[in-house]
């Protein structure tokens, strides 16, 4: 099997976790290679996601690294042996890889959470809203690529619409609901759409109203995705050079704490629904 030219974010995450285990054990790549009877180059390829690793080799590495967390090891094995070719593969070579990585991450997530202060979260967007967002991009996207991005965003909603949906929670600031990304009719349709989605037991939408005292967190935007075990949770933050996936335990702990803080600033689910219902009537 040849080397991967462009490993997915999931494959890279597996590689990163294996490298972390080796480093925590105080072993160098050449020492790990000797324990497995392979070349240091093969260990490096595995640890950079350029090559896969079998279940037997992964479990052998975990034993040599003195990792006793069986649930974590089982989760890594599941990542290593997964051969899923999801709906997002239809977009490979047609959209940037970050779009596919996000869809794959969501497909395997045990929960999803978003915080947005300026835009409606992608999983809650209507087609018209998503199209208006992508159409505002500079330089402008060619028509076919714009429609591909809209279609991809709509298909991502499968995780909250499938028979066994992913639990989803969104904390949205009032400003994101009031900014008219489209026209008045589109704004009303977007609010109604969120209300309809929030009727599901597995979807929770919380609103932070303008009149909330002491709220200084409007700069926060984040996405959280639960892994098979907490060590494999992921987050996404917006930065000056675009979005970036976060997977270090320290950063994840900080973002989980920040999410709980923002959640505490928001209205409860029922009060949020009442709030959005009044907004929809005002638009």
Burial class (CB in 10 A: 0-12, 13-18, 19+), 57: middle
Beta carbons within 10 angstroms of residue 238's beta carbon: 13
| Residue 239 in this model has a pLDDT that exceeds 80 | no
- pLDDT tens figures, 109-159: 999 999 999 999 999 999 999 999 999 998 999 999 999 999 999 999 999
The pair of three-digit structure tokens given for residue 138, joined into one six-digit string: 């500079």
Class of domain 96-282: alpha beta
Rounded Cα distance, 143 and 146, in Å? 5
- Rounded mean pLDDT, 41-49: 95
- Residues in Cβ contact with 113 at an 8 Å cutoff, skipping those fewer than 6 apart: 168, 169, 170, 171, 223, 224, 259
- Do strands 112-116 and 168-173 pair parallel, antiparallel, or not at all (unpaired)? parallel
pLDDT of residue 101: 95
Work out the pLDDT band at 215, boundaries 50, 70, 90.
confident
| Residue 2 in this model has a pLDDT that exceeds 80 | no
| Residue 240 in this model has a pLDDT that exceeds 90 | no
Task: Please count the residues of the chain.
Answer: 283
Residue in 195, 186, 157 with CA at minimum distance from that of residue 283: 186
**127 bridge partner residues:** none
- pLDDT tens figures, 88-114: 999 999 999 999 999 999 999 999 999
Beginning with the edge strand found earlier in the chain, give each strand of the sheet holding 222-225 in spatial order: 203-208, 168-173, 112-116, 222-225, 234-239, 242-246
- Rounded mean pLDDT, 63-79: 97
Work out the pLDDT band at 4, boundaries 50, 70, 90.
confident
Compute the mean pLDDT over every residue in the chain, rounded to the nearest whole number: 94
- Rounded mean pLDDT, 168-173: 98
Domain assignments of the chain as residue spans, ordered by start: 9-81, 96-282
Residue in 164, 49, 65, 173 with CA at minimum distance from that of residue 119: 173
Equal CATH topology for 9-81 and 96-282: no
In the CATH hierarchy, which fold is given to the domain comprising 9-81? Answer: 434 Repressor (Amino-terminal Domain) (1.10.260)
């Amino acid at each position: 099997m040849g080397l991967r030219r462009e490993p997915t974010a999931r494959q890279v995450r597996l590689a990163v976790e294996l490298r972390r285990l080796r480093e925590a054990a105080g072993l160098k790549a050449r020492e790990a290679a000797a324990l497995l009877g392979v070349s240091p180059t093969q260990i490096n390829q595995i640890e950079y996601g350029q090559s896969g690793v079998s279940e037997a080799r992964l479990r052998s590495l975990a034993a040599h690294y003195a990792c006793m967390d069986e649930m974590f090891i089982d989760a890594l094995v599941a990542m290593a042996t997964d051969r899923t070719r999801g709906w997002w593969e239809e977009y490979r070579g047609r959209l940037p890889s970050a779009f596919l990585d996000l869809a794959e991450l969501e497909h395997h997530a045990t929960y999803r959470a978003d915080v947005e202060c300026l835009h409606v979260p992608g999983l809650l967007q209507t087609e018209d809203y998503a199209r208006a967002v992508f159409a505002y991009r500079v330089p402008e996207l060619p028509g076919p690529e714009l429609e591909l991005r809209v279609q991809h965003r709509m298909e991502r909603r499968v995780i909250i619409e499938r028979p066994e949906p992913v639990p989803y929670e969104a904390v949205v600031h009032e400003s994101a609901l009031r900014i008219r990304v489209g026209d008045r009719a589109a704004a009303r349709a977007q609010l109604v759409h969120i209300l309809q989605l929030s009727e599901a037991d597995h979807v929770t939408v919380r609103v932070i109203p303008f009149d909330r005292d002491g709220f200084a967190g409007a700069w926060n935007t984040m996405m959280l995705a639960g892994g098979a075990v907490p060590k494999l949770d992921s987050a996404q933050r917006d930065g000056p050079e675009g979005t970036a996936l976060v997977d270090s335990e320290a950063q994840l702990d900080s973002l989980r704490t920040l999410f709980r803080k923002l959640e505490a600033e928001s209205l409860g689910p029922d009060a949020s629904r009442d709030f959005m219902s009044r907004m929809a009537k005002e638009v």
